[in-house]
Amino acid sequence: MSSHAGPIDHHHDHTTSTGIPNKKLFMWAFLASDCMFFGTLISTHLIYRLHPPPGSPDVKSIFSIELTSFSTFILLMSSLLMALAVNSLQKGQVRSTRQNLIGTIFFGLIFLACQVYEFSHFVHEKGLTLSNSIFGSTFYVLTGTHGCHVAIGVLWLVLMYIRSFKPADADQGRAWLIKGFFHLIVWGVTIVASMASMLGLVHAIQVGDGFGGFLHHHPVEFGVSILGLIVLWLLSRQEGPVDFGEANAMDVESMGLYWHFVDIVWIVIFTAVYLLEYL
């Protein structure tokens, strides 16, 4: 109900038996289930690492631990931004929520780009593929599944971002959904272009070309992503009273639970798949 006056108690819902909001409880149940998903995948990987078939690749020569550490750090930072977004919305600051959401999306994208880069690097330069060794199979499927979770999280964040533009005046009908769809397409293009740019950038940094070399090789991707960001910025200015505020803090919070969980799972994967190899 939108018309309650006074501050909203974010942690207690009087319409449920336990006082915990349904959405939050749902997210906890989902995460319990997801723990089993990742548990199964991680144990599959570890079992095959403990019993490597003859001819297994030398893992340390494949990994590039610096890049992965960097992307891990980025993912942790995105969790921070996510927490800030929840905090902002609990105070009713829609604008700051949006900014933090964009930040979370952006950091999530950097992480994904690093992963895509890592995958293509491993395939093309280190010769590790899905099918040529059991290590490749378990590694790509495990980290790829995690990557899918991050991608779904990014998509969810984008949807929530668009949701925050729903006008408060319901008489305006659902035109905003169509507009939102346009918004979504811009998001899509921007995401793809900035992913490509980041791939180029990571590559340029790795081979020592620096930013100039990156601009030289990837002008289109860079241009499109900048253009996309400008359009997004313009779109984000369409203001007016919106149907998004403190009452939606729970929606953002449960999304945050998901995001933090994916982050924690990555820490486990980073430890079990990468760091353990360096013991």
Partner 1 sequence: MDAAAQSHFTGKEAGHAVEKRPWIFTRPTAKTGIVSWLTTVDHKRVGIMYGISALLFFLVGGIEALIIRIQLAVPNNTFISHQFYNEMFTMHATTMIFLAVMPLSAAFFNYIMPLQIGARDVAFPRLNGFAFWVFLAGAIVLNVGWFVKSGLPDAGWFGYAPLTSTDFSNQFKADMSTDLWVMGLQILGVSSVVGSMNFIITIINMRAPGMTMMRLPVFTWMTLITAFLIILSFPAITIALVELMMDRSFGTNFFEVSNGGLPILWQHLFWVFGHPEVYILILPAMGIVSEILPTFSRKPLFGYPIIVFSGATIGFLGFGVWSHHMFTTGMGTMATAAFSLATMAIAVPTGVKMFNWIGTMWGGHLQMRTPMMFALGFVWMFLMGGLSGIMHSAAPADAQQQDSYFVVAHFHYVLIGGAVFGLLSGIHYWFPLIFGRRIGEFWGKLSFWVIFAGFNITFFPMHFLGLNGMPRRTAVYDGNMGWNDANFIATVGAFILACGIGIYFAVMLYTYFKGEKAGRDPWDGRTLEWSIPNPPPEYNFAVTPTVHARDAFWYEKHHKEEIAKEKSAHAKEDEAHGGVHMPSQSWFPLMTAIGLLIGGLFFVNHKFVGAICGGTVMFLGIYFWALEGPGGYHVHPSEDDDKSGSYGKH
The nearest distance, CB 267 to partner 1, in angstroms, is: 20
Listed ranges 42-50, 80-88, 99-107, 224-232: which one lies at the site for partner 1 (CB under 8 A):
42-50
The residue written with tokens 């902002």 in the block is: 88
CA distance 205 to 203: 5
The nearest distance, CB 187 to partner 1, in angstroms, is: 12
CB atoms within 10 A of CB 100: 22
- Report the length, in residues, of the chain: 279
> Binding residue for partner 1 (CB under 8 A) from 171, 207, 208, 279?
171
Q: Are 57 and 86 in contact (CB under 8 A)?
A: no
Residue 137 touching partner 1 (CB under 8 A): yes
CA distance 75 to 63: 18
> Binding residue for partner 1 (CB under 8 A) from 10, 126, 163, 260?
163
157: Cβ contacts below 8 Å, ≥ 6 apart? 101, 104, 105, 108, 255, 259
Residue 145 touching partner 1 (CB under 8 A): yes
Both structure tokens of 103:
């930040």
Residue 10 touching partner 1 (CB under 8 A): no
> Binding residue for partner 1 (CB under 8 A) from 68, 90, 97, 138?
138
Cα–Cα distances (Å) from 107 to 79, 102, 153, 160, 222, in that order, read: 9, 9, 12, 16, 17
The nearest distance, CB 212 to partner 1, in angstroms, is: 37
Q: Which of residues 15-34 bind partner 1 (CB under 8 A)?
A: 16-18, 20, 22, 25-26, 29-30, 32-34
The count of chain residues that interact with partner 1, using the rule CB under 8 A, is: 52
Q: Which of residues 211-250 bind partner 1 (CB under 8 A)?
A: none
231: Cβ contacts below 8 Å, ≥ 6 apart? 186, 190
Residue 170 touching partner 1 (CB under 8 A): yes
CA distance 164 to 157: 11
Q: Are 147 and 112 in contact (CB under 8 A)?
A: yes
The nearest distance, CB 69 to partner 1, in angstroms, is: 27
Give the residues lining the site for partner 1 (CB under 8 A). 1-3, 16-18, 20, 22, 25-26, 29-30, 32-34, 36-37, 39-41, 44, 47-48, 51-54, 56, 130-131, 133-134, 136-138, 140-141, 145, 159, 162-163, 166, 170-171, 173-175, 177-178, 180-181, 184
